[in-house]
Structure 1
């Protein structure tokens, strides 16, 4: 993309109303703009990040055997009355009426709707187990929306729902999602520690939340440093390996990790002091097993292997896709701006001409942009008639993993400068080697 033709409204000053780093940087770098309290428009740069996160989430759900569908944002109040949650949910639910005075709501979650869909179309044990998911916008009318996309009222979520014949099968589905989540966050370039959690209004007695460690996190966290030693993307467990999945759950459950809400001082004291870690964290995912709470309330039955009616056991699994954008920035930034993990960066390379009035530099930059684009290397080319320092500052702010800098002196010597945004290291490389290096 050419910066001269894009819509990337970078702010020169730090916004005064933003309280945390991610909110400030998302506004400054032109990722989002607020349109109402707690509601944001995603601008081109932010949307690219949002879509990349969603794509990784989808890929890992698909690998775990979940099937994608898409449920609407608006739901009938009658569904929620069947489960008993319509009046119990509280003022966070946005309740509305259509022109026929039918009560509707903007969905904060989808347990009721997915249960109704499953109830109406699945009749036999042969159709179980199943895990269904979608990536959809949700709305929760926070009384004090703050911190940008970290605690907004409208947000993008991946929510999945599992259906099994019995508790043993449901727990296996839970362990499957546990592994999928660990691998998802690993691919996103962040460390998210699974911590035993309270179930809240979702219900159930088995729940874990996934916490990204960041100094500005809302929750105080306590965890065993063993979680820092595990590369979940390389964990040799297949999703069909029941013993491996059980072993994974045992490993997670036996390694201490808790937020201040579930912290147990007695158990914490059993962790060797050299392995005790404390800090702050941001919740980016939450998984629940809640048995027949919704299936029983909404009359979901299937015929069992012996012909008797069976009420399926259920679980639900959420990832805050839009919240992850803010969480990643909170965990990965410096005093110059965002430092994106390469997997979710809006572009891999920022191409900069230091002198827009130098014909030789512009010719080299144009050729590099053509070659990088042809090689499918996502490149943001700053071809504007601006000072070089302004361009480099903008690239640091946007946080692209690599910067390719073209200047008159380098071009005269047949070289360009390559900068690693994360480490700040700079390399002089031959012009004709640049594309191969970045491919």
Structure 2
């Protein structure tokens, strides 16, 4: 993409309404625009990041054997009345009536709708296990929406639902989701710590939420410092292997890590003092096992091998896709702007032409642009008639991981400058070697 033809409405000044870093930088970098309290338009740069995150989530869900579908944003209140949650959910639910005076709602979650789909089409244990998921916009009418996309009213979320014959099978689905989520966050360049949590209005006794440590987190967290040393890494996971999935789950959850809602001061004090940590965290996902909470009242029954009809065991699993954008920025920024991890960057590299209009510089930039695209990469070429300082400031603000700087002086020596946004280190390389270096970095992801 050529910056002269792109829509990137960056701001020079910090917006007064932004209270935290991610909100401020998303506004300044031209990623979002507020349309109403807690409701945002995603501008081109922000939309690219959102779609990259969505793609990673899709890939890891399907890698774990989960099947995508798409459910609507509006739901019939009748389903929620059937489950008993319509009156219990609270004022966060946006309730509306259509022109036929039927009670409707803008879905905050989809347990009822997915259960209705299941009971309409599945009636035998032979069709189990089954996990369905979608990525869809949700609405929760927060009383005080704030912090940009971190605490918005409208948000993009992946929610998945497993259906299993027995509790044992459903707990395997729970462990499988925990592992798939850890792999998802690692691909995004995040370390999200699973913590025992409160189930809230979803229900159930087994639940973990995933938190990214950040000063602006809404939850206070207490944890053993060793939990931050555990990585899934390149470990191969057989998602059908119950023992392997349970082992990974136990390795992460054996160490103490709790939110303030479930914190046990006595257990925490048993940890050696030098390993006790108290911090704040941003929730970016949660998994639940809730058994037959929805299947029993809604009649989601299947026939067992003995012919008995029993309610299926269920769980639900959510990742806040749009919230992750804010969490990533909170975890990856400096005083100049955003620092995107390679796995989620909106563009793989930036090209800065220090002397637009110079024949040699223009030709070199065009060559780099074409070479990166030929490697399957997506560069952002700053070809504007703008001073060098402004171009560098824009690249630092939007946070692309790598920048190639092209100028007449370097070209006379046959080199361009390759700079890492994260470390600030620069290296002079021949143009073709700079392209090869960037291609090698992304090939390893």
TM-score range, shorter chain: over 0.9
Q: 1:277: Cα distance to partner?
A: 2.4
C-alpha separation in 1, matches of 2:368 and 2:312:
58
Asked if 1:181 is matched to 2:165, the reply is no
What secondary structure does 1:223 align onto?
strand
TM-score for both structures, normalised by structure 1:
0.98
C-alpha separation in 1, matches of 2:49 and 2:275:
34
Work out the number of aligned pairs and report it: 439
C-alpha separation in 2, matches of 1:274 and 1:58:
39
Q: 1:363: Cα distance to partner?
A: 1.7
C-alpha separation in 1, matches of 2:151 and 2:33:
15
**How far does the alpha carbon of each residue in 1:121-153 deviate from its partner, in whole angstroms, 9 at most, with x for none?**
001010111110000000011111100000000
C-alpha separation in 2, matches of 1:118 and 1:307:
19
**Structure 2 match to 1:381:** 381
**Structure 2 match to 1:433:** 433
Q: Is the 8 A contact 1:129 1:163 kept in 2?
A: yes
**Structure 2 match to 1:19:** 19
**How far does the alpha carbon of each residue in 1:280-307 deviate from its partner, in whole angstroms, 9 at most, with x for none?**
1100001110110000111111111100
TM-score for both structures, normalised by structure 2:
0.97
Asked if 1:312 is matched to 2:312, the reply is yes
**Structure 2 match to 1:275:** 275
**Structure 2 match to 1:110:** 110
Q: Structure 1 stretches of 5 or more lacking a match? A: none
**Structure 2 match to 1:191:** 191
**How far does the alpha carbon of each residue in 1:216-257 deviate from its partner, in whole angstroms, 9 at most, with x for none?**
111111112222222213334311211112222332332100
**Structure 2 match to 1:323:** 323
What secondary structure does 2:323 align onto?
helix
Q: 1:360: Cα distance to partner?
A: 1.7
**Structure 2 match to 1:81:** 81
Q: 1:321: Cα distance to partner?
A: 0.1
Asked if 1:346 is matched to 2:346, the reply is yes
Q: Structure 2 stretches of 5 or more lacking a match? A: 440-445
C-alpha separation in 2, matches of 1:59 and 1:233:
17
**How far does the alpha carbon of each residue in 1:32-51 deviate from its partner, in whole angstroms, 9 at most, with x for none?**
11111111111111111001
**Structure 2 match to 1:211:** 211
Q: 1:359: Cα distance to partner?
A: 2.4
**How far does the alpha carbon of each residue in 1:41-73 deviate from its partner, in whole angstroms, 9 at most, with x for none?**
111111110011111111111111110010000
**Structure 1 match to 2:402:** 402
* More displaced 10-residue stretch of structure 1: 392-401 or 348-357: 348-357
**How far does the alpha carbon of each residue in 1:397-421 deviate from its partner, in whole angstroms, 9 at most, with x for none?**
0000000001121111111111000
**Structure 1 match to 2:442:** none
C-alpha separation in 2, matches of 1:252 and 1:387:
50
Q: Is the 8 A contact 2:212 2:327 kept in 1?
A: yes
What secondary structure does 1:232 align onto?
coil
C-alpha separation in 2, matches of 1:370 and 1:231:
37
**Structure 2 match to 1:366:** 366
Q: Is the 8 A contact 1:187 1:233 kept in 2?
A: no
C-alpha separation in 2, matches of 1:135 and 1:431:
40
Asked if 1:72 is matched to 2:79, the reply is no
**Structure 2 match to 1:249:** 249
**Structure 1 match to 2:224:** 224
**Structure 1 match to 2:163:** 163
C-alpha separation in 1, matches of 2:28 and 2:437:
30
Structure 1 runs of 4+ with >4 Å offset: none
**Structure 1 match to 2:121:** 121
